[in-house]
């Protein structure tokens, strides 16, 4: 078993600093394990409490008889080294140190002490100064924000490593709302022990992870990082959003984490040479990840657009062309087949305009024809759900075609709450959805480029 597995699949977890007070970090984390999907045992540790939420509380990890796989530390910075000593004596091999107040505010010596003590006992650590881990498969959840403020996404294939806890947490919240899903989330903070390079290596080995997303401010071991990406970028897509690419942004990075950020051009070149996919904003990071984690590699860049709204068709064509794709030219026999099965006012071109009186069946015919036509490499389906005769079973029609995994399919649908409900359903079937054509086209471009590798 991989030592890092204990962070994501522990059987027994100790929460050092578990608390009775609802606003305390140690309370929220303890509750996450109690009330979430975690199926193992969880042990609260706090010398000042007898029991927490009905569970016996321990003065120290040494009092626990059972073997502990993972300790989560949420006590004040000054007493963290002592807690690590105790973990060492208890033979705990993995700790997540949520506590902040180290290097990031000038307490360099204290952080060095933590580092030394981890090494001394052969303990691997995530943190300090981090949110830690969220894994929807195992239920490990060390995010100290309650779920009414910050929802958690469901199970999927995207793993997300983030240097910034705040970025990480709001992204999880946003993903949950959108119906996007995740494999593993890791906020590693100051990287006192485990850093981004080691996490990437682990996620490349991890079977549940289809795509690795990284939010990066600075890199600790530049050369190692580069070699690592280069070695692994063909095995799994690695998508990186680098913050601090402008001189001004770079200055802001150093006051945030103390890491040194480099110039835009250098990073751009490094990413390109190493085979990483660079995202230019947070939405793009997950747009790319959703398409790359769910869709097959396309054979080429010829896209068939299917729409029920002419205007959206045009905007999609513009966006595809601007992103280096071409419009597919269906075979004559496909045209004839469509002519036989759809009403005469349907425009059988590219885009195929099913028009505003379409039903789901017309979509089924058009998607099926596009899947079977060898002149089509990818399918962009625009589903304006609001048109009168389109019923929610359009979701199953698109999902069934997607399940064949024959050609990349994405859906574009703009609107309000009704639309968002149906889009969430599409996402749950592994169909990447977009509100507007531009972002969809950028994601298809990323898929094409990765497909060529």
Site for its own copies in 326-365 (CB under 8 A): 327, 345, 347, 349, 351, 353, 356
Nearer to its own copies, 64 or 252 (CB): 252
- Distance, CA of 141 to CA of 94 (rounded, Å): 15
Q: Is 438 in the site for its own copies (CB under 8 A)?
A: yes
Phi, psi of 434, rounded to the nearest 5 degrees: -135, 150
Nearer to its own copies, 300 or 415 (CB): 415
Nearer to its own copies, 94 or 99 (CB): 99
Of the candidate residues 98, 330, 384, 409, the single one contacting its own copies (CB under 8 A): 384
Q: Is 134 in the site for its own copies (CB under 8 A)?
A: no
Q: Is 34 in the site for its own copies (CB under 8 A)?
A: no
Minimum gap (Å) between residue 352 Cβ and its own copies: 11
Of the candidate residues 396, 419, 424, 428, the single one contacting its own copies (CB under 8 A): 419
Element (H, E) at 158: strand 158-162
Minimum gap (Å) between residue 220 Cβ and its own copies: 17
Nearer to its own copies, 5 or 420 (CB): 420
Minimum gap (Å) between residue 398 Cβ and its own copies: 17
Three-class SS state of 377: coil
Q: Is 13 in the site for its own copies (CB under 8 A)?
A: no
Element (H, E) at 382: strand 378-382
Q: How far is residue 179 from each of residues 95, 281, 320, 424, 445, measured CA to CA in Å?
A: 30, 19, 25, 5, 23
**Considering Cα of 34, then 36, then 40, then 43, what sign does the dihedral take?**
negative
Nearer to its own copies, 54 or 416 (CB): 416
- What secondary structure letter does DSSP report for 58? B
Of the candidate residues 13, 80, 118, 167, the single one contacting its own copies (CB under 8 A): 167
Of the candidate residues 34, 222, 415, 428, the single one contacting its own copies (CB under 8 A): 415
Of the candidate residues 15, 77, 253, 378, the single one contacting its own copies (CB under 8 A): 253
Tallying the residues shown for the chain, one arrives at 453
Minimum gap (Å) between residue 35 Cβ and its own copies: 18
Where does this chain touch its own copies (CB under 8 A) — which range of 6-14, 141-149, 219-227, 229-237? 141-149
- Distance, CA of 389 to CA of 301 (rounded, Å): 32
- Per the listing, tokens 């991989």 go with 2
Q: How far is residue 384 from each of residues 139, 389, 423, measured CA to CA in Å?
A: 36, 11, 11
Minimum gap (Å) between residue 340 Cβ and its own copies: 20
Please answer whether residues 87 and 117 qualify as being in contact, where contact means their C-beta atoms are separated by less than 8 angstroms. Answer: no
- Distance, CA of 413 to CA of 169 (rounded, Å): 26
Q: Is 421 in the site for its own copies (CB under 8 A)?
A: no
Burial class (CB in 10 A: 0-12, 13-18, 19+), 226: middle
Nearer to its own copies, 122 or 311 (CB): 311
Q: Is 245 in the site for its own copies (CB under 8 A)?
A: yes
Q: Which of residues 94-113 bind its own copies (CB under 8 A)?
A: 105
Q: Residue 92 has which token pair?
A: 């705990």
- Distance, CA of 216 to CA of 260 (rounded, Å): 11
């Amino acid at each position: 078993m991989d030592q890092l597995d204990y962070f994501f699949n522990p059987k027994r977890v100790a929460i050092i600093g578990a608390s009775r007070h609802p606003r305390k970090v140690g309370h929220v984390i303890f509750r996450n394990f109690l009330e979430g999907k975690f199926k193992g045992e969880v042990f609260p540790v706090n010398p000042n409490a007898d029991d927490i939420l009905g569970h016996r509380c321990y003065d120290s990890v040494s009092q626990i008889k059972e073997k502990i796989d993972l300790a989560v530390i949420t006590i004040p910075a000054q007493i963290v080294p002592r807690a690590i000593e105790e973990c060492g004596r208890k033979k705990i091999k993995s700790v997540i140190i949520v506590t902040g107040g180290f290097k990031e505010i000038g307490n360099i010596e204290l952080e060095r002490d933590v580092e030394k003590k981890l090494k001394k006992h052969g303990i691997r650590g995530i943190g300090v100064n981090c949110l830690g881990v969220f894994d929807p498969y195992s239920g490990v959840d060390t995010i100290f924000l309650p779920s009414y403020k910050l929802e958690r996404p469901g199970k999927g294939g995207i793993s997300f490593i983030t240097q910034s806890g705040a970025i990480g947490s709001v992204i999880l919240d946003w993903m949950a709302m959108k119906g996007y899903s995740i494999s593993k989330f890791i906020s590693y903070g100051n990287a006192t022990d485990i850093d981004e390079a080691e996490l990437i290596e682990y996620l490349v080995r991890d079977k549940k992870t289809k795509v690795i997303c990284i939010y990066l401010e600075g890199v600790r071991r530049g050369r190692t990082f580069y070699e690592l990406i280069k070695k692994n970028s063909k095995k799994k897509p690695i998508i990186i959003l680098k913050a601090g690419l402008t001189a001004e942004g770079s200055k802001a990075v150093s006051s945030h984490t103390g890491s040194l950020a480099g110039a835009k051009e250098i990073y751009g070149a490094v990413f390109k040479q190493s085979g990483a996919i660079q995202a230019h904003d947070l939405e793009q990071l997950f747009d790319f990840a959703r398409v790359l984690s769910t869709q097959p590699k396309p054979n080429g860049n010829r896209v068939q657009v299917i729409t029920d709204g002419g205007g959206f068709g045009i905007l999609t064509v513009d966006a595809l062309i601007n992103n280096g794709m071409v419009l597919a030219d269906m075979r004559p026999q496909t045209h004839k087949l469509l002519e036989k099965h759809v009403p005469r006012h349907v425009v059988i071109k590219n885009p195929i305009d099913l028009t505003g009186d379409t039903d789901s069946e017309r979509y089924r015919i058009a998607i099926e024809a596009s899947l079977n036509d060898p002149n089509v490499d990818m399918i962009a389906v625009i589903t304006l759900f609001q048109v009168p005769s389109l019923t929610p079973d359009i979701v199953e029609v698109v999902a069934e075609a997607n399940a064949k995994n024959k050609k990349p399919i994405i859906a574009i649908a703009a609107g309000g709450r009704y639309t968002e409900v149906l889009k969430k359903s599409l996402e749950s079937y592994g169909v990447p959805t977009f509100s507007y054509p531009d972002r969809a086209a950028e994601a298809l471009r990323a898929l094409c480029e990765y497909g060529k590798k």
